[in-house]
């Protein structure tokens, strides 16, 4: 099976990355990691993340779990309930708690990626590049709204076995409308085909 070409949607001069961490040193490290991917803005509290996200409409948010005011999970949950497209903002969470429960909690809140401290700069850079270049489809159920988890095991735990279109809908990662591979203008580059069975638009594929 041939590899699907990537969809490069963002150029560095039009991309904004919001970095949120309580420690100035950590923000400098993360800034150095994403240098060249776009314009970088910084903040240190959960409330500032919400405020700057609304003002800047960033293409990516990288935030620490431990933030004053609102922690990373609370920030993610609030952003996923936002409107005007802000709810689709990719989020990478960095945390010093790499436990299974912590990862599942973050994914359930709606993060795209979970990176454990101490993190590899190469790994974080690769995650950021992938999130920007290949926007992941979103799924909405009665209890979850967020990007489709990459890992089959995590996808199963967070979403369960979804096959009822009344309970779930797939949302295009590019156009933010209902995923419909028959009318998708991306054609072979459709981002949702890996997750949608041809016969049933809302069913999560077990990869």
CATH topology of domain 12-133: Rossmann fold (3.40.50)
What pLDDT does residue 196 have?
A: 58
What pLDDT does residue 154 have?
A: 78
**8 Å CB contact between 19 and 30:** yes
Mean pLDDT along residues 89-108: 92
Strands 169-171 and 138-140: antiparallel
Question: DSSP letter at 75?
Answer: H
Quick check: helix, strand or coil at residue 138? strand
Of 28-37, 95-104, 183-192, the range with the lowest mean pLDDT is: 183-192
Q: Where does the chain hold its CATH 3.40.50.2300 domain(s)?
A: 12-133
Q: Using only C-alpha atoms, what is the Rg of the chain?
A: 17
Question: DSSP letter at 70?
Answer: S
What pLDDT does residue 36 have?
A: 94
Q: What is the pLDDT of residues 35-63, one digit of tens each?
A: 999 999 999 999 999 999 999 999 999 99
Q: Grade residue 169 by pLDDT with cuts at 50, 70 and 90.
A: confident
- Angle at which helices 46-56 and 72-80 pack, to 10 degrees? 30
Q: What end-to-end distance do the CA atoms of the chain give, in Å?
A: 14
Q: What is the pLDDT of residues 121-159, one digit of tens each?
A: 999 999 999 999 988 899 988 889 999 887 777 777 777
């Amino acid at each position: 099976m041939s590899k699907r070409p990537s969809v490069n949607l963002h150029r560095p001069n039009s991309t904004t990355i919001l970095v949120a961490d309580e420690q100035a040193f950590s923000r400098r490290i993360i800034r150095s990691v994403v240098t060249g991917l776009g314009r970088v803005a910084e903040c240190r509290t959960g409330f500032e993340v919400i405020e700057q996200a609304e003002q800047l409409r960033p293409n990516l948010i990288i935030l620490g779990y431990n933030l004053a005011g609102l922690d990373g999970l609370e920030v993610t949950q609030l952003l996923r309930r936002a409107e005007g497209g802000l709810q689709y903002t990719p989020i990478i969470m960095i945390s010093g708690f790499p436990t299974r429960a912590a990862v599942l909690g973050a994914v359930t809140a709606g993060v795209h990626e979970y990176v454990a401290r101490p993190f590899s700069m190469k790994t974080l850079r690769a995650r950021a590049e992938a999130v920007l270049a290949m926007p992941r489809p979103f799924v909405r159920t009665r209890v979850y709204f967020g990007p489709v988890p990459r890992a089959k095991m995590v996808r199963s735990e967070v979403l369960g076995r979804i096959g009822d279109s009344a309970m779930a809908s797939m949302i295009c990662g590019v156009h933010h409308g209902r995923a419909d591979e028959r009318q998708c203008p991306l054609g072979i580059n459709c981002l949702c085909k890996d997750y949608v069975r041809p016969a049933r638009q809302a069913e999560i594929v077990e990869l």
